[in-house]
Structure formats: structure tokens, C-alpha cells
Amino acid sequence: MKQTAPVTIRNATLVTPDGLREGALRMEHGRIAALGDIDADGGENVDARGKLVAPGLVDLGVFAIDKPAFHFGGITRAALMPDQSPPLDLPSRVSYISKSGKPDFWVHPLAAATRGLEGREIAEIALMREAGARGVATGRQWIADSGVMLRLLQYAAMLDMPVIAHAEDAALVGEAVATAGEYATRRGLPSAPAEAEAIAIARDLALAEMAGARLHFRQVTTRAGLDLVRRAKASSQRVTAGVTPAHFMLSDLATAEFRTFARLSPPLRSEADRHAVREAIADGTIDIVSSGHDPRGPEDKRLPFSDAEPGMAGAETLLAMVLSLVRDEVIDMPRAFELVSTNPARLLGVEAGSLIEGHEADVVLVDPDKPWVIQSSKMAATAGNTPFDGQPTQGRVAALWKGGVAVEL
């Protein structure tokens, strides 16, 4: 499905890399043809008065593909984690995934770092890159063997592929489901120290510097971990960091009623760490906010807290949660879309994520003030396991284009 006629969005507030600007945007042949004052006629005209025109969101590190949920959230591309059944550890599996979703949604597979994601034998990363992999990921687990991790980073550096790492020392975490502290103790939950994150980050930063590799921590959720990333960036190391909305919106207080929708990996942290994440988003230490989309049905969630599977359905709420940071004056609007569009697209090496002439016309029309209530029972995802169930919020997608073609919402 290709764009057959030009589309011009007029009377818009454009969210560009240079800031907000008034004007129009024209899409032709699947690309952004012009921005600003546009005299061109012909094709479809869309009046965007009172709304934002922004780049389609690029969701880095999801565990399942639910196109209706992604479209609802303004997401036009997603990088799929290798934790599938079977894992994405063979070129044939990567190739199949890279072709799925099209034409109205693009999936960018992340290659499994090790065979079977077992952390022992490095997978055929070069062949998976040829098959369409846009990065290498360790999956939900940390690679405990430092020798294996170093060889992985060296291999990825040679191929100029980013490594997306999980940051929790596995030996310290064990079977923990909560962060050690007062609340976990009161509830009798198996817990692990928050320092497990910083220990994992410190080791992986040291190995990545030795290898000269590009390293992205998919979620950094503690002040100690964020301080390590901050120092590494100051020394010009090629490291980036991400987080999901749960860790800047919620703390371990959300586990008070043993609601398994708040059972996440990494687990929710202290209120002090939640504020540290918000500070890191504001000062640029965190580069990417992703949904962590991982829908889990009743068979995984309607269990005792310690037995429930971690994960949240996040695609539909990602944009609204990030826009809440704008309303709270933590960040401005261009920075919001840098976090959810520009930076993840740059890490994946795709010509999207920014309103720039020549980039692919993945465009979202947003009503930033539209109120709505998050309801898990009405979500478009295959499961509605959101920790934000019942929360009033603002910001909804009004229209979406993938490659210049309108997507049905």
C-alpha cells in the first residue's frame, strides 16, 4: 500500500527538531515533502487547527505486536524484543518478523544476543543483521558471564550494531518480585536490593568501553544507576538509557494492594528513585521512553503477586503519560517527542522519528488536551494489564499516517 495522492496538513502546530512552529506539512510518495508555508495544491487537505502534528512514535523494546493498540497510541514502528516463542536467535525468524505488520505498521526485530537467550553462546548476529535486525538485545535477562558479554559487545561493535541490555544482576535478583525496603518487607514479598541495577550497569559500562560498543540500557530506574550513566556520558562513552512510564509515574506504593498489574520487571522502586527518574528525563540522562508493551492475560496476572508474570500493556498509554511530563513542566513538547520518536529512530538507524523533509511520512495528529480515562477492559491490546487502570489523563491521537497513508484508528 503506497501513497497515491499528496496530503497537506494545514493550520498545524508542528513539533520539529528545532522546536514548535506554526505552518503546514505536505506528504508525497510516502515522504515528508515540505514543511512551513506551503503553496502547493492538489491532493487531500487536512485542517489541524488546535492540534499538534508530530512524528509517529517509535517504540523501542516491546514484547508483543498489537497493531490496534499501537495505532491507538500513535506508534508507527516498534522494535520487537527477542523474547518470543521461539526466540529471535536465527536469521529466518528475524526475516519473518521484519516483514510482519506492513504496510501500516513496521516491526524492527532485535536479534537475540545468545542462542536461546540462555546467556552462554553468542548467536549469529551478523546473519541476523542481514535478515533485518536493527540491534542486539539480551532480552529480559542479564548476561551473567562477563566473558560472554565482552565478546558480544566486541562482535556488535565490529558490526556497528547497538546492544540493548537488561540491567539487573541476576544473582542478586534471583526470584525477587519487589524492591527491598519497607513496603516489600511489610507485604512479605521476595525482594532484591535496588543496587542490583547499579552493579549490572557498572560492569556493562566497563565492558562496553573496552569493546568500543554502543550500549543502550532499556530501563534505568534507580538514582545510583542513573548516576553511573550520567558519568559515562560525561566521559563521552557511547551509552544511552531508557525507561517506561511506570517508573516515572509510580513507586512501590502501587503494590500496596497486591495488584498484579503493578508486577513489573524491573520492579517499581522507591519514591526517591521515581523522582530521580524524572530528574534524569529533564536533564537528558534518559534518552528514550518506551511502552515496554507486554500484554498479559488473566492466566498470567490473576495469581498471587509472587506468582504473577511481570509486564504491562503500555502502547495505548505511552503518549499520554509522556505528555503528562509536559503539563508538569518537567520537559517541553519537542523534548517529549525526542524521547518517544527521534531518539529511538536514531538508535535503530531508520529515517523516521522527526519532521524533516525527506524522512518517511510517519506522522501523528495529536489533541494534547483531550481528556480520557484509561480503562483496562476497553483496551485494544490483547490484554489490558495496565497499572494506570482508572486513571484520568489527557492527550489522544486524532489521526495517523504511515508512509503518507492514513491509518484507521
Q: What is the CATH number of the domain that holds 224?
A: 3.20.20.140
Residue written as grid cell 483496562? 376
Residue written as grid cell 548516576? 227
Reported as a pLDDT band with limits 50, 70 and 90, residue 62 is: very high
Which of the two residues, 116 and 4, has the higher pLDDT score?
116
Reported as a pLDDT band with limits 50, 70 and 90, residue 48 is: very high
Nearest to 319 by CA among 388, 402, 383: 388
Taking residues 263-286, what's their average pLDDT?
97
In the three-class reduction of DSSP (H, G, I as helix; E, B as strand; rest coil), residue 338 is classed as helix
277 pLDDT higher than 80: yes
pTM for this entry? 0.96
Residue 2 lies in a domain: no
Residue 43 lies in a domain: no
Query: Could you give phi then psi for residue 296, rounded to 5 degrees?
Result: -130, 125
Half-sphere exposure of 93 (CA within 13 A, CB side): 19
Q: Which pLDDT value is given to residue 105?
A: 96
The number of folded domains in the chain is 1
Q: Which pLDDT value is given to residue 276?
A: 98
Residue 223 lies in a domain: yes
- In the chain, % of residues over pLDDT 70: 100
- Whole-number Å distance between alpha carbons of 56 and 322: 14
Residue 334 lies in a domain: yes
Which DSSP category does 21 fall into? Answer: E
Structural domain span for residue 252: 56-351+381-390
Spell out where 139-259 has E strands: 163-165, 178-179, 191-192, 215-217, 239-243
Nearest to 315 by CA among 289, 334, 333, 277: 289
Reported as a pLDDT band with limits 50, 70 and 90, residue 364 is: very high
Residue 5 lies in a domain: no
Reported as a pLDDT band with limits 50, 70 and 90, residue 299 is: very high
Task: State the chain's mean pLDDT as an integer.
Answer: 95
Reported as a pLDDT band with limits 50, 70 and 90, residue 186 is: confident
Least confident of 17-26, 127-136, 254-263, 388-397: 254-263
256 pLDDT higher than 90: no
Residue 370 lies in a domain: no
Q: How crowded is residue 369: how many other Cβ atoms within 10 Å of its Cβ? A: 12
- In the chain, % of residues over pLDDT 90: 91
| Residues 385 and 301: beta-carbon distance below 8 Å | yes
77 pLDDT higher than 80: yes
Reported as a pLDDT band with limits 50, 70 and 90, residue 12 is: very high
Which of the two residues, 56 and 187, has the higher pLDDT score?
56
Q: Which pLDDT value is given to residue 85?
A: 95
Taking residues 303-322, what's their average pLDDT?
95
- Strands 19-28 and 7-16, how do they pair? antiparallel
Reported as a pLDDT band with limits 50, 70 and 90, residue 101 is: confident
- Whole-number Å distance between alpha carbons of 283 and 108: 28
Residue 97 lies in a domain: yes
Residue 1 lies in a domain: no
| Residues 112 and 88: beta-carbon distance below 8 Å | yes
